[in-house]
Amino acid sequence: MSQDTITAALLVIGDEILSGRTKDKNIGYIAEYLTNIGIDLREVRVVPDEMDEIVEAVNRLRARYTYLFTTGGIGPTHDDITADAVSTALGVELYEDPRIIAAMLERLKPEDLNEARRRMARIPVGAEHVVNPISKVPGFKIENVIVMAGVPSIMQAMMDDVAPRLQTGARMMMETVEATGVPEGTYAAALSDIAKAHPDTIIGSYPQFHEGRFRNQIVVRSKDGAKLQAAVEAVGAMLKTMPASPR
Amino acid sequence: MSQDTITAALLVIGDEILSGRTKDKNIGYIAEYLTNIGIDLREVRVVPDEMDEIVEAVNRLRARYTYLFTTGGIGPTHDDITADAVSTALGVELYEDPRIIAAMLERLKPEDLNEARRRMARIPVGAEHVVNPISKVPGFKIENVIVMAGVPSIMQAMMDDVAPRLQTGARMMMETVEATGVPEGTYAAALSDIAKAHPDTIIGSYPQFHEGRFRNQIVVRSKDGAKLQAAVEAVGAMLKTMPASPR
């Protein structure tokens, strides 16, 4: 990979995703967001609300990619253990941040600041806040790990806050060529040849199935605009030579 | 874990999910499906269309869980490498299955059965078919690995075909208690006490944010109906003692 490649993993933390009760809306959003700012999302994991599972995944993923983003598990209840798991993984202590306590007291009466809510004010020593304009309790960034809420609207606001602080690389550009009426199996060999002839591009073929028919799209991606265009033109020219027939 | 616990992981294979171009619809479906038949989905990973990444993930996940399901990468194009990766991971050869060739010839003229399409007829030695009633080319099951299509309608049909062949355990039952008007931070300590007092249940608290307000749901899960009910009743009784106030 070139020097300007910045990579990331996403760790989604939550029993509710694995049980199917909650349908994740964060993976697709974060994938698209990172692509648009020039960070390559390379891996996603979903793990349950269990300390050992989270710690192991955090340590594997933060060692392997430029950044690790996490979603979920930062609320006040007993199943919210992300801050504890990240501090364990990194070998740093949690402390109660008085700035977070102050922010919480803008919304709460002092008598409502109970022990469970104080848990949300704990961040690892050395962490920066990731601002939460909605419910005020921030996420945090420590080393290359960015800890965000699981509630989509709050996560999205946190991404906007942390993104300007991240290193970004060359943006991956993408063009889609509709292969309407030409089955994948018909163009597969020719497409493979194009992929080999255009090494700084990534070419994929994506079938969709609608109303009893396949509709295929060929997607070309590259960080180099000229190479992207050359591959897109090659794909277009190739498709013109193909007969239409069933997949 | 009790003897009747059957676990699974899901490996989603595809650059298009990691780039955000395609929004995954399979994770939530499979999570809910497996929960309903008594298989606990314990982990999900999303990896790119790269041999080393797929092989490593297949070997980690199949060793760790009762079953590993994969989606994506079984079409005819150069980026479809799941069968190759699974055969590499398991150390078995791929062969061209004449039954799959015959099924393909029900839809194709013999002259359209090119090399790319023949690739889709390759399955590992010893694999069983997972029937695909839509486009006929099957997925497969070998040892504890179940390889399915990424196109949602085809994957769903394949799940229906393979499910009766799987071991299943006690079904995880679930009840949701609405905590309307009571903030998470208010009930967190009491809920933690309930979770400790009901060891064969899993209790989670899930905030949703709608129109400027949190709406919280407490979800109790258990494989034991009586223990589930006891915990649900404890949660309901606890909530009645709580004052409403901002989170």
Q: How far is B225 from chain A (nearest CA, A)?
A: 17
Q: Domain for residue B23, yes or no?
A: yes
Q: Give the whole-angstrom CA distance, residue B124 versus residue B118.
A: 14
Q: Which residues of chain B have pLDDT under 70?
A: 1-3, 244-247
Lowest mean pLDDT among A104-118, A196-210, A232-246, B162-176: A232-246
Helices A225-240 and A184-197, packing angle to 10 deg: 150
> What value does the mean pLDDT take over residues A160-167?
97
Residues B156 and B193 occupy one common structural domain: no
Q: Identity (one letter) of the amino acid at B18?
A: L
Interface contact flag, B204 A23, Cβ < 8 Å: no
Interface size between A and B, measured as CB pairs under 8 A? 222
Interface contact flag, B114 A203, Cβ < 8 Å: no
Residue window 136-195, chain A: list those with CB within 8 Å of chain B.
151, 153-154, 172, 174, 184-189, 191-192, 195
Expressed as residue numbers, the domain containing B148 is 7-165
**Band of the pLDDT at A40, cuts 50, 70, 90?**
very high
Provide the pLDDT for residue A207: 87
pLDDT in tens, B16-28: 999 999 999 999 9
Counting residues of chain A whose pLDDT is more than 90, the rounded percentage is 87
Chain A contact for B45 (CB, 8 A cutoff)? yes
Residues A187 and A159 occupy one common structural domain: no
Residues A52 and A129 occupy one common structural domain: yes
Cα A71 to its chain centre, rounded Å, is 9
Chain B contact for A244 (CB, 8 A cutoff)? no
Strand B67-71 to B145-148 pairing: parallel
Provide the pLDDT for residue B181: 82
pLDDT in tens, A82-130: 999 999 999 999 999 999 999 999 888 999 999 999 999 999 999 999 9
Residues A15 and A104 occupy one common structural domain: yes
Interface contact flag, B44 A191, Cβ < 8 Å: no
Q: Write out chain B residues lying below 8 Å of A34, CB-based.
A: 20
**Band of the pLDDT at A247, cuts 50, 70, 90?**
very low
Q: From start to end of B38-78, where are the E strands?
A: 40-47, 67-71
Last residue of a domain, one of A141, A165, A189: A165
Provide the pLDDT for residue A163: 98
Q: Look up the CATH number of the domain holding residue A34.
A: 3.40.980.10
Residues B55 and B114 occupy one common structural domain: yes
Closest CA in chain B for residue A107: B246
Three-state DSSP at B19 gives coil
Minimal CA–CA distance to B27: which of B19, B14, B38?
Answer: B14
Which residues share a beta bridge with A146? A69, A141
pLDDT at A66 exceeding the cut of 50: yes
Interface contact flag, A18 B42, Cβ < 8 Å: yes
- Number of compact structural domains in chain A: 2
**Band of the pLDDT at A245, cuts 50, 70, 90?**
low
H helices within A138-221, ranges in order?
Answer: 152-162, 184-197
Give all strands of the β-sheet with B213-222 in edge-to-edge order.
B173-178, B213-222, B201-210
Q: What is the DSSP string of A70-125?
A: EES--SSSTT--HHHHHHHHHT--EEE-HHHHHHHHTTS-GGG--HHHHHTTEEET
Type and span of the H or E element at B148: strand B145-148
- ipTM score assigned to the predicted complex: 0.93
Residues A157 and A210 occupy one common structural domain: no
Q: Domain for residue B145, yes or no?
A: yes
Q: Of how many residues is chain A composed?
A: 247
